[in-house]
């Protein structure tokens, strides 16, 4: 099931929580990994992996790290809501360097996008109101805005240069759900690893977008491109419903929108925005 890619795979953001999971699990399955991050790698270095500290602002360094790689797993950059100036360099300029490296090497990109790129869509009242991946971007902050930009850059590089890319809109990837919203958005570590494996080893991906959540009956999200790479999640948040289903924020903004707590950061509207982003009501 987990056939190792023939070429090395570059993983940015390797020292982050998800990067560490991927480094450990993919190396254990025989992948040859090149790991990079601005922060030191905090774990014992896996077999068949090398690590180099690097800033995403270093375009030449990234080109050098990507040389000979068949895929780039881009989990680097700012991973939470921050002021625009903080997000700008790593998440905008840094992503450009990733795609330039991929263009030169003819490598596939897996971009760690986020549900925060669409966070101001309202939560569905029932399953038939789920949104599909062709929904409008409605970012809930500067972090989410950078993820929308990242998906659009993937579209550009596919249309203009033929760079294949898989954009995974990560919901809430933690060991287990911790509050009611995560019954809809949770992604298990095991499902993440399976998703990354499919994204890299599928014969073709083109430009595709996938809702990166486990098999949660309460999911906010509907159709995507997962069939193109052969991924199906195997875990579910329902096992934690009795434990966390009653845990909510009490904030009407947070509970209204899919992006949860990020929607309330700096929120200054007096009334909620409409379901249609271009409506006045």
280 confidence band (pLDDT: 50, 70, 90): confident
pLDDT of residue 127: 66
Which of 171, 179, 173, 175 has the alpha carbon at shortest distance from 249? 179
Is the predicted pLDDT of residue 2 greater than 70, yes or no? no
Q: How far apart are the first and last CA of the chain?
A: 50
Residues identified as active-site: 143
Fold of 9-264: Rossmann fold (3.40.50)
pLDDT tens-digit map of 72-109: 999 999 999 999 999 999 999 999 999 999 999 999 99
Q: Where are the beta strands (DSSP E) in 117-199?
A: 165-170, 172-173, 186-187
Pairing state of beta strands 71-74 and 49-53? unpaired
pLDDT tens-digit map of 231-277: 999 999 999 999 999 999 999 999 999 999 999 999 999 999 888 87
**Higher per-residue confidence, 277 vs 223:** 223
Is the predicted pLDDT of residue 56 greater than 90, yes or no? yes
Which of 91, 62, 97 has the alpha carbon at shortest distance from 78? 91
Which of 247, 122, 256 has the alpha carbon at shortest distance from 183? 247
Is the predicted pLDDT of residue 68 greater than 70, yes or no? yes
Distance between CA 253 and CA 90 in Å, rounded? 29
pTM confidence score: 0.96
Q: How many CB atoms lie within 10 A of CB 222?
A: 15
What is the length of the chain? 281
pLDDT of residue 281: 63
Distance between CA 27 and CA 76 in Å, rounded? 18
pLDDT tens-digit map of 170-221: 999 999 999 999 999 999 999 999 999 999 999 999 999 999 999 999 999 9
pLDDT of residue 1: 52
């Amino acid at each position: 099931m987990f056939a190792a890619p023939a070429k090395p795979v570059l993983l940015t953001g390797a020292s982050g929580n998800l990067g560490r999971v991927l480094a450990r699990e993919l190396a254990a399955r025989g992948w040859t990994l090149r790991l990079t991050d601005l922060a030191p790698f905090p774990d014992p270095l896996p077999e068949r992996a090398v690590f180099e500290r690097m800033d995403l602002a270093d375009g030449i360094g990234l080109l050098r790290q990507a040389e000979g790689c068949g895929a780039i797993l881009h989990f680097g950059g700012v991973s939470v809501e921050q002021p625009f100036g903080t997000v700008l360099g790593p998440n905008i300029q840094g992503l450009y360097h990733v795609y330039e490296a991929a263009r030169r090497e003819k490598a596939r990109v897996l971009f760690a996008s986020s549900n925060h790129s669409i966070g101001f869509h309202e939560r569905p009242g029932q399953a038939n109101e789920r949104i599909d991946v062709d929904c409008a971007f409605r970012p809930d902050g500067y972090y989410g805005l950078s993820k929308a930009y990242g998906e659009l850059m993937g579209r550009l590089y596919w249309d203009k240069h033929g760079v294949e890319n898989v954009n995974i809109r990560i919901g809430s990837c933690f060991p287990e759900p911790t509050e009611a919203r995560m019954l809809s958005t949770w992604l298990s570590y095991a499902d993440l690893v399976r998703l990354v494996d499919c994204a890299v080893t599928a014969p073709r991906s083109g430009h595709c977008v996938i809702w990166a959540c486990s098999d949660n009956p309460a999911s906010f999200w509907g159709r995507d491109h997962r069939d193109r790479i052969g991924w199906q999640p195997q875990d579910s948040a329902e096992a934690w419903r009795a434990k966390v289903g009653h845990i909510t924020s009490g904030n009407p903004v947070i509970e209204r929108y899919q992006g949860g707590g990020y929607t309330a950061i700096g929120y200054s509207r007096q009334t909620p925005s409409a379901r249609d982003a271009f409506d006045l009501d």
